[in-house]
């Protein structure tokens, strides 16, 4: 077996366990017979392999052999991040050119993308203001391929999370990005993505009035609100049967209606600077997480734990595991 295929063993070993059983058996049989397994694999199986790798890792498989040259372009795990093109150590003009190159790459990539369905589509751009029509096209592309996990990240790596309110881009950039992308609201996004199973909002600051999902028949199972600051601290979820919830932000009014399928929650209230009169809010919130089996909390939770316990010593939440961050 040549050197190129020997170097590809880590890819095989890292992904074989994620493949269907009959495909695993094929790989094991070839390995036992000391055959050049990769030459004998079909393109559909190679696509399964690269789809279980991070997108940047799948692109690196193109150097393995001619057989692998374009397999990565069929990966169903698409993670398109400008950080692969834009270098922060360069000056603003060079970064601007690098960002244009990134968007050119994404445009050409999706035009020639052959798969009819996508497992995950993630795009990250810190300055999308000049590329709003492109962002709209990217989201439309993902929706047309029945994407199951959609992630749009407009955060800037130069932002200081402890001073975002004073950052000049906070009021301008996300507002234009989220509204001009063609998604007038979060509701529009979910209506247009009925098969969406995982939704993540990260570093969304002061651009959404409050967070609300109240649509029936959604397939949404995983919800991540990471370091988000909404204008009004109210969260209303009625419709999707979530299994996993991660929330990082301020303590507010939480209403989770009939979330009996939820098994895990991760709560981080580190952005809360004042802790007076929040015990009742947390208590009511935790009562709505009655089905959770694994709960991860932060130190802020512990600071108001005494207030929670003083409200009622007879009621408790049935959790098999409590992890303290």
Regarding beta strands 321-324 and 149-153, do their DSSP bridges make them parallel or antiparallel, or are they unpaired? unpaired
How many independent structural domains does the chain possess? Answer: 3
Whether residue 178 sits in one domain with residue 126: yes
Q: Are residues 178 and 70 in the same domain?
A: no
184 and 230 belong to one structural domain: no
Are 318 and 216 found together in one domain? yes
The last residue of one of the domains, among 74, 92, 125, is: 74
Tell me whether residue 112 is exposed, middle or buried, using C-beta atoms within 10 angstroms of its C-beta: 0 to 12, 13 to 18, 19 or more. exposed
Dihedrals phi, psi of 198, to nearest 5 degrees = -140, 130
Token pair 């009014």 in the structure block, residue:
253
> Are 80 and 113 a contacting pair, CB within 8 Å?
no
Give alpha helix (H) positions in 204-278. none
Q: For tokens 């952005």, what's the residue?
A: 271
Does residue 179 sit in the same domain as residue 217? no
* Same domain membership, residue 220 and residue 320: yes
Give the pLDDT score at 50.
94
Residues 241 and 307 both lie in one domain: yes
What pLDDT, on a 0 to 100 scale, did the predictor assign at position 298?
A: 84
218 and 283 housed in the same domain: yes
Does residue 249 sit in the same domain as residue 283? yes
CB 292 within 8 A of CB 262: yes
Between β-strands 234-237 and 253-256, what pairing exists: parallel, antiparallel or unpaired? parallel
Residues 21 and 128 in one domain: no
Domain with 68, as residue range(s), is 1-74
Q: How far is CA 273 from the centre of its chain?
A: 27
What strand order describes the sheet that includes 253-256?
A: 211-213, 234-237, 253-256
Last residue in a domain, options 200, 233, 263: 200
* Residue 300, H or E segment: helix 299-303
- Note whether 216 and 192 are within 8 A (CB): no
* One pLDDT digit (tens) per residue for the chain, 325 residues: 444 444 444 444 445 445 566 555 555 555 555 555 667 788 899 999 999 999 999 999 999 888 899 999 999 999 999 999 999 899 999 999 999 999 999 999 999 999 999 999 999 988 888 898 898 899 889 988 988 888 888 777 776 555 544 443 333 333 334 433 333 556 777 777 777 888 887 777 666 677 888 888 888 899 998 887 777 788 888 888 899 999 988 888 888 988 999 999 999 887 655 555 667 777 788 888 889 999 898 877 777 666 556 555 444 454 445 565 6
Specify whether the CB–CB gap between 269 and 287 falls below 8 A: no
């Amino acid at each position: 077996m040549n050197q190129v295929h020997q170097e590809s063993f880590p890819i095989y070993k890292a992904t074989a366990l994620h493949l269907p059983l009959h495909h695993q058996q094929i790989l094991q049989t070839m390995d036992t017979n000391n055959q050049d397994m990769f030459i004998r694999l079909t393109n559909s199986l190679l696509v399964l392999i690269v789809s279980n790798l991070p997108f940047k890792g799948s692109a690196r498989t193109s150097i393995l052999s001619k057989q692998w040259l374009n397999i990565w372009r069929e990966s169903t795990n698409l993670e398109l991040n400008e950080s692969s093109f834009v270098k922060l150590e360069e000056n603003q003009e060079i970064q601007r050119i690098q960002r244009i190159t990134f968007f050119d790459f994404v445009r050409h990539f999706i035009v020639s993308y052959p798969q009819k369905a996508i497992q995950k589509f993630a795009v990250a751009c810190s300055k999308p203001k000049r590329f709003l029509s492109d962002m709209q096209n990217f989201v439309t592309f993902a929706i047309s391929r029945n994407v199951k996990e959609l992630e749009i990240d407009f955060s800037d790596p130069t932002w200081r999370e402890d001073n975002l309110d004073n950052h000049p881009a906070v009021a301008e950039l996300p507002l234009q990005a989220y509204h001009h992308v063609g998604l007038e609201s979060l509701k529009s996004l979910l209506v247009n993505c009925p098969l969406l199973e995982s939704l993540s909002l990260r570093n969304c600051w002061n651009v959404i009035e409050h967070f609300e999902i109240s649509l029936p028949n959604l397939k949404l199972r995983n919800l991540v609100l990471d370091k988000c600051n909404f204008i009004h601290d109210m969260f209303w979820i009625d419709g999707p049967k979530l299994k996993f919830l991660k929330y990082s932000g301020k303590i507010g009014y939480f209403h989770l209606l009939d979330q009996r399928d939820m098994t895990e929650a991760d709560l981080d209230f580190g952005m809360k600077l004042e802790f007076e009169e929040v015990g009742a809010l947390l208590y009511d919130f935790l009562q709505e997480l009655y089905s959770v089996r694994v709960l991860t909390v932060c130190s802020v939770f512990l600071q108001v734990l005494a207030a929670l316990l003083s409200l009622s010593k007879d009621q408790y939440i049935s959790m098999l595991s409590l992890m303290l961050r």
